[in-house]
Amino acid sequence: MMKKILGYLQVFIGMSAVAGGMPMILNPGGTDQGLTTEVLANSPFNDYLIPGILLFTINGLGSLAGAYFSLKERPFAGFAGIILGVALIIWIIVQVYYLGLSSWLQPLFFFVGVAELVLGILIFKKEKPSFMMK
């Protein structure tokens, strides 16, 4: 049951990140999303291309791959949940550090990342996957 919950959480994260990252890649200036590059002034980026690629690949495609492992109840699911949960938490912390707390989505996805991490740890500890025991 925990793997199913983790999987559906990862589908939500993955679809949200793909939907958020793709427009940033296609229009790095941010105008399609109602963003401006001025908010990036304190960040290492001049536009949204690199953040969009990272969001799309790590939190988007990575979470969808994690969802596959979770929903198919593969042994790698817990470990993937841990890695992806940490990645999402770091993503939000870095975002808030450079851009400030600017949206209710930031705390929402921070807590979603914590939930993903906790579920990943619980699954991992329960199963102790053989690929980690060698």
Tell me the pLDDT tens digit for each residue of 105-129: 999 999 999 999 999 999 999 887 6
What whole-number distance in Å separates Cα of residue 7 and Cα of residue 1?
10
- Portion of the chain with pLDDT greater than 90, in percent: 82
Q: Which residue has the tokens 């979470």?
A: 63
Q: b/e map of 22-55 (b: 16 or more CB within 10 Å)?
A: ebbbebbebeeeebeeeebeeeeeeebeebbebb
Six-digit token string for 75: 């042994």
Domain ranges (residues) in the chain: 2-127
Cβ atoms of 64 and 14 within 8 Å: the answer is yes
Tell me the pLDDT tens digit for each residue of 60-85: 999 999 999 999 999 899 999 999 99
Q: What is residue 36's predicted lDDT score, i.e. its pLDDT?
A: 87
